[in-house]
Structure 1
Amino acid sequence: MPSYRPLGSNTAITGPRLIEINPDFIGAFWKYQIYAEKLAFGMPEWMNADGIRARETVRAMCEKWYQVSDERFDWGAEMSDVAFEENFGSRLSRELCRWGKRFDFSSESMGSLYCLLFFGLNSNMIFMTIWYLIEVLKNPDLLCSAKEAMASCFVEDDSGSQKLDPQKLASNPLLQSIYIEVLRMHVSINITRTLKDPAVIGGYPLAAGAVIQAPSHVAHLDEETWGSDGHPASEFWGERHLKTTEAVGSDGKRTEKKEFSLGNRSGSFLPYGGGVDICPGRHLAKTQIILASAMFLTKFDIKFLGWVNPDGSPSKLPVGDDYSYAGAHALPPAGDMKLKWRRVA
């Protein structure tokens, strides 16, 4: 992936020092990301030497940052419970460190732990932001509706300037519906569990200790669950998760409004996993994806010109998912879109 992609999630969760201590971290991280799924299979070094080198480079950077932060941070001071500070950043980051310390993790193990955290924070969120923009920009009607919804989410700050309100964006019915539809269509994970007791699944007896997997894509594309008249489950429809409700005003007039709703389908929506192991960062990811998309669409006038193949050549077909990542996490686009854009006041 391009090395210029910033890692804003890292700063939000672990503070600014990671990049200060490791100026080359961004490029190294995106090189490691290419091999992450292959590394998960535990192949020997002679079969995946480049991937292991990329991983060890990032892990060493994480370890270096952890050691410096641990030395500078006073665990006995009041700062240990503040919402954010410059060494470890957020409370989530410090609690992860405390957890590792309770089990006497070495600094090498802590580097590995944070390496995995950064992978989860960045890979999925950035891919989904790209897909959010692609799905909106390719549909002029949806683009118009989305920009109108985003325009309603500006608030005035203390200086009198207008700024986007993350909470308003994340609770807007249409913007939420687009977000859910993006994850439904473009996240592919295999939810993995180990059976504690014998079980029969689909008529097949399984022994205790057996490993089972449930692919999210099967649930996400189920026609009976997600299909709607004129909008099959296999296609993106930004308004799929809206319902129309009727309200009566003080003047007695009835008005219709759109509300966000998953209905009874939440059990078939699995982009963040489920159960006790569900992704703890899902709320942050949602806000970041919608906010980042809104910043692009409100700060720039963007015109879609056409589709582009991975090699940069023009394509007549819309960009699709890169299924080489299937079962692992969010699917990046296997291509690109050509845009003309200019900054607006």
Structure 2
Amino acid sequence: MSLECLPSKSAMLPQNNQYLIKHERVNELTAHFSRVLAEVLDRDAEDIVKLEEVGLYDWIRDRMFTASTTALMGDKLLKMYPDYCQDFFKFDSEFLSFFFQLPSFMLRDAIARREKIFDNLEAWSKEMQRLSGGAPIDPEGPAWEPLLGSRLNRARHIDYKNRKLNSRSSAALDLGITFGLSSNVIPATGWMLMHILNPQNSDQTVLPRVMNEVREAEKPDGSLDVPTLVSQPLLQSIWTETLRLYTDVLVTRNLPEDLTLPLDEDGKRQVTFHKGDNCFAPSWLGHHDAAAWDREGKAPYDQWYADRFLTRDPETGKSSFSMSGTNGKFFPFGGGRTICPGRVFAKQEGLGALAMILLKFEFEVKQFVNADKKPTASFPGFARAFAGSGALVPGGDLKVKVRRRVVQ
């Protein structure tokens, strides 16, 4: 699950280190995202609560997209390009088809949609350059400004200029960062919320326990204390379990030399890869290995289990988050030098959105629906997707009645 599509091994490294990995900068970005999301949720809340039911995932998807795009890229983009959300998610569903070297006539709609996005991002970028006098505001200046938004995005646009990229290439990179922001964290947040609210949960204490942790991170003014939020043990376990169950990435390496790997413990069976070969390690196999995840007292590997990554102190009875024993079995963000630089913000954005939504609203689950929006008795599975798709999109939804949460 990568937060951005990088044009080369080192192209965005300074910006990533400065604005995506340093916790104080990420906390700052998450706090602004949470404030924007709160505003977005309030815009049509009175209309939403009047409806008998809404599709939960569809509802949060569009609102998270608006908030994350505004927090990262400023508030002018969606004003100039109000269809970006709908166009993007159609593009997202078609994205991997570009990798199969199909003739263009078989991808006519997908290509046209991509070109439309490029055209609009190009027009937005040119207009922002004009309004800013040709240069973005210093990334070390305000944390956010309306033209280009966050420190990270301003640093990226300065880098585009320094590398003398044309406006089309810059638009492609802007689509790349949008892809990272929206194609992975939003589905993961949707899965978390759907499972927490699932009336078929064998453990009906999950929601009240989540609310206890969320309230610990709520400030008196209704905003979130981000460090407190992301350190809560149950929330961390839920985030990690959701990535384990629903993330499918291919960690790819090009071999600089021949490599022989054993296929059994005594080395009698081996496989040899040759210099120049491309090797793919699918996370799905490790994440869904019964031998790795079926443990006494835990739910089976193929079930979502909120407490899977919690350990209880026998003396105090307190639970703590633990990744013990998962090395080599859990890698939703890839690994090594190319590990996703946005993994810190991804976690904060997902948990921040979850917290803000649950603090503002209560939900009554009316029914499950499948991918065709038809009622079903089963909790939604994931939509069909190509291997390596990242966070898998729900292949269905929960129809819910939304109510404003009453503060006691």
Normalized against structure 1, the TM-score is what? Answer: 0.89
| Aligned equivalents of 1:101, 1:214: Cα separation in 2 | 36
Tell me which residue corresponds to 1:306: 367
Measured after TM superposition, the shift of residue 190 of structure 1 is 1.1
- Counterpart of 2:152, as a letter, is L
For structure 1, which segment, 130-139 or 312-321, has the greater mean C-alpha deviation from structure 2 after superposition?
A: 312-321
User: How many pairs are equivalent?
Assistant: 334
Q: Say if 2:241 is the partner of 1:178.
A: no
Query: 3-state DSSP class of the match of 1:149?
Result: helix
Query: 3-state DSSP class of the match of 2:62?
Result: coil
Q: Deviation per CA, 1:118-154, whole angstroms, max 9, x where unpaired?
A: 0111111111111001111113221222122222222
Measured after TM superposition, the shift of residue 223 of structure 1 is 2.5
For structure 1, which segment, 188-197 or 87-96, has the greater mean C-alpha deviation from structure 2 after superposition?
A: 87-96
For structure 1, which segment, 235-244 or 204-213, has the greater mean C-alpha deviation from structure 2 after superposition?
A: 204-213
For structure 1, which segment, 297-306 or 1-10, has the greater mean C-alpha deviation from structure 2 after superposition?
A: 1-10
Q: 2:288 aligns with which of 221, 232, 235?
A: 221
Distance 1:10 1:127, change over 3 A: same
CA RMSD of aligned residues (A): 2.3
- Counterpart of 1:151, as a letter, is R
| Aligned equivalents of 1:162, 1:18: Cα separation in 2 | 27
Measured after TM superposition, the shift of residue 74 of structure 1 is 5.5
For structure 1, which segment, 56-65 or 94-103, has the greater mean C-alpha deviation from structure 2 after superposition?
A: 94-103
| Aligned equivalents of 1:304, 1:213: Cα separation in 2 | 40
Q: 1:288 aligns with which of 349, 354, 369?
A: 349
For structure 1, which segment, 235-244 or 311-320, has the greater mean C-alpha deviation from structure 2 after superposition?
A: 311-320
Alignment of 1:229-240 (within 5 A): 229-230=296-297, 231-240=299-308
Q: 2:276 aligns with which of 209, 221, 225?
A: 209
Measured after TM superposition, the shift of residue 192 of structure 1 is 1.4
Tell me which residue corresponds to 1:251: none
Tell me which residue corresponds to 1:340: 401
Query: 3-state DSSP class of the match of 1:174?
Result: helix
| Aligned equivalents of 2:403, 2:162: Cα separation in 1 | 52
Query: 3-state DSSP class of the match of 2:128?
Result: helix
Distance 1:80 1:284, change over 3 A: closer
- Counterpart of 1:244, as a letter, is R
Say whether the 8 Å CA contact 1:325–1:331 is kept in structure 2.
no
Tell me which residue corresponds to 1:193: 253
- Counterpart of 1:49, as a letter, is R
Tell me which residue corresponds to 1:66: 125
| Aligned equivalents of 2:356, 2:140: Cα separation in 1 | 32
Query: 3-state DSSP class of the match of 1:259?
Result: strand
Q: Give percent identity, aligned residues only.
A: 32
Q: 1:53 aligns with which of 112, 133, 156?
A: 112
Normalized against structure 2, the TM-score is what? Answer: 0.76
| Structure 2 residue runs without a partner (length 5+) | 1-56, 264-269
Distance 1:80 1:147, change over 3 A: closer
Q: Say if 2:213 is the partner of 1:149.
A: yes
- Counterpart of 1:340, as a letter, is K
Say whether the 8 Å CA contact 2:74–2:150 is kept in structure 1.
yes
Distance 1:270 1:304, change over 3 A: same
Tell me which residue corresponds to 1:250: none
Say whether the 8 Å CA contact 2:136–2:158 is kept in structure 1.
no
| Aligned equivalents of 1:75, 1:280: Cα separation in 2 | 28
Query: 3-state DSSP class of the match of 1:304?
Result: strand
| Aligned equivalents of 2:156, 2:257: Cα separation in 1 | 31
| Structure 1 residue runs without a partner (length 5+) | 247-253
